[in-house]
Structure 1
Amino acid sequence: MRTETAGGGTVPGDGVAAEPLIEVDGVEKVFSVRRRAGRLRRVRREVRAVDGLTFRVPRGEMVGYIGPNGAGKSTTVKMLTGILTPSGGRLRVAGIDPARERTRLARRIGVVFGQRTTLWWDLPLQDSYELVRRMYRVPDAVYRANLDRCVELLDLAPLLAVPVRQLSLGQRMRGDIAAALLHDPEVLYLDEPTIGLDVVSKAKVRQFLREVNAERGTTVLLTTHDLTDIEQLCRRVMVIDHGRLVYDGGLDGLRAAGEGERTLVVDLERELPPLEVPGARTVRVEGPRQWLAFPAGRSAAPLVTAVAERYPLVDLSLREPDIEEVIARLYAGAHGPPAR
């Protein structure tokens, strides 16, 4: 059992803090870029892709890591895997410095990089998995158990004899996710894991990731533009913009931070003029049904009580603010110091 912390992390049910698997302290990544300035002259300028990033991810947590294009998400993941070396700050994954011990770390992580496959393009999917087994020296019993489970839950059986180049994007994504888990990694980095999938396949992948996280305790860092992935899989979300962390916490807190509005949908016994209730405003009226908007950070309980006491109530429901709109507002206001 887990309980949520103020920062969006989780701890075991007995209140003991969970062990941090990923530690990021004041990390920066600066790229030097040359640009043309006239016909013959070029000038060099620095681009700060990641700017003083600090966060912890406890072992076994599933975290959404989101931001607009160019925010620094992929750069962060590449530093966490050892592909890139930080310009400053400190990184540790499972106690390992990724840049200095990339080979050692590779045995403990799994990575799915969006539309860049880790599979062998001209080989059947089954042969790609066999090569993964040999590369990571996965024991036969472990490999067979993991492969069988992935094949069953991700519906890969009809695809095992198909060359990777003949797979659709959605099929290949499922194949890549399976390949990343064959060696039992402690942490899994996922970049757009449901891209190109239909509704049924998305549901299968999400359920698969839930089970991997719950049963094996695999830590998952998920970057995606499909915010339904975040809502269905993650209790904690981190929002990055211009290389800085602008939010770290739960989805409810994100809605409040983005100044979104919740909506109370009220069904009355009969048509009435727009309801007048302190702390809310009526934004829509259709016959006996009315929509009352109020700040996302406020409790709905006082509003419900006031409506029930003053008006002939039949039924009501509560709608949360649209997560995409909330995040857009958060980006728009993310020019101050980063959230802690």
Structure 2
Amino acid sequence: MLHHLPARPDTILWGHLDPDAAPVLRIRPGDSVEVETLSGGARNLPAAGQPGTALPAHLAVIAAKSPELGPHMLTGPIAVEGAMPGDRLVVEIEEIRFAQDYGWNAIEPGFGMFPDLATAYENLTVAIDRDRGTAQLPWGPEAALAPFFGILAVAPPRAGGRLSSVPPGGFGGNIDNRLARAGAVISLPVFVPGALFMAGDGHALQGDGEICDTALETALNGRFRFQLEKGTAPSAPEILYDNRLITMGFDPDLDRAAEAAAARMIDNICARSPLTRTEAFRHCSLFGSLRITQVVNGVKGVHCLLDLGSLEGAGGL
């Protein structure tokens, strides 16, 4: 069954993930959902003379609500029938579409990899050609866009209460992994009954690291298909894209985040092949790639990428 979840004041959590939030939609495993998302607060709307037209739904949410704990507008939560703690929620990103004709990028004192570089809050609005999938940047280049959702999340454990939308964690959240694009499948651990899935933080374009603290942010609409695997929750989100497995690590310390991402890849190699842990350690060094996901969300992210084709013939198979 295909459902539609619009973005409006009663379907948006602004700035936080709440394990006690009431679901705005209930679905069954195997269902797909068209999800509308929004991006940014009032200061990220197109200013006079800048390109772009604000969505009426966006203006309605800004008028009706205020951010709590963080800046991101999240659509949801979606409850999946039968999902229980310890399960794996498997979310196929079937389609991503641009919902508006502009993106924005902001720099601000105290934020980004170089917090002293900006002297004032500056919001830049850039026109998006939705038909061509490009944006003309004001400093010259035409950029080919690669949209993805920066936030894909389930509700965090109830013991932690309501959390800011900024730091990522085992529940997903603000992972800012640019491989969470159309055609990818993300697996998330379930912490509360129903899983309570949320999506938001649409990006038109971002490099690994998200160095200045924002990407080319924009409103995206996505179609997601949900499946459930009982009792197989991963320890952190995993992405499968183009036969490449991506494991993730999160920690305020970049080294520890890298260790977590690599350790989870070794675990996966052992689970998917007859290789010993030592052999998987070697295999990961030869074929795995560690990449910095983002360094600006307080809790830093590193992901390890492995082409699963590299395991063909492993252990004599």
TM-score normalized by the length of structure 1: 0.24
**Structure number with higher strand proportion:** 2
Looking at CA atoms only, which structure, 1 or 2, has the larger radius of gyration?
1
TM-score normalized by the length of structure 2: 0.25
**Structure number with higher helix proportion:** 1
